[in-house]
Amino acid sequence: MTARRRLGARTDAGSLVEVLRLAVGVGHAVRATRGKQPVLDSVLAVRQVAQAALVGRSQRAEAHTLSAVVDAVHGATMVPLAVLDPRRRAFALGQVGIAVALTIAEVAAVGTGRRRG
């Protein structure tokens, strides 16, 4: 099977990841209206909802792989914020946790790409 494949049997796992991502985006939107970080939460709400829509629509393995990379980079950018800004430390560490969970979920949805059997 080539790298440009649809998820096929893993579509349910991919859809579940995008539903989870959409929930995270909605959570950020709600927090933006009453949280301590309204700008950050608003930006993250838009990103998560848009990412869920784009990846969910595509249902390609490459889209999930790219989505995992975006999540991993986001998590990595939160580490310096957690270290350097005590006021935003809890927020940044929460984002690292979400990013790690979504990265793992996206990778699991795609699988290794190796044939079984």
Which stretch, 1-5, 58-62, 77-81, has highest mean pLDDT?
77-81
Q: Which long-range contacts (CB under 8 A, 24 or more apart) does 91-96 make?
A: 91/36, 91/37, 91/40, 95/44
Span 71-92, pLDDT tens digits: 999 999 999 999 999 999 999 9
What's the start-to-end Cα distance of the chain, in Å? 14
Task: Give the mean pLDDT of 18-33.
Answer: 95
pLDDT of 29: 96
Structure tokens at 110: 């795609």
pLDDT of 4: 45
Q: Is the pLDDT of residue 36 over 90?
A: no
pTM (two decimals) = 0.82
Q: Is the pLDDT of residue 70 over 90?
A: yes
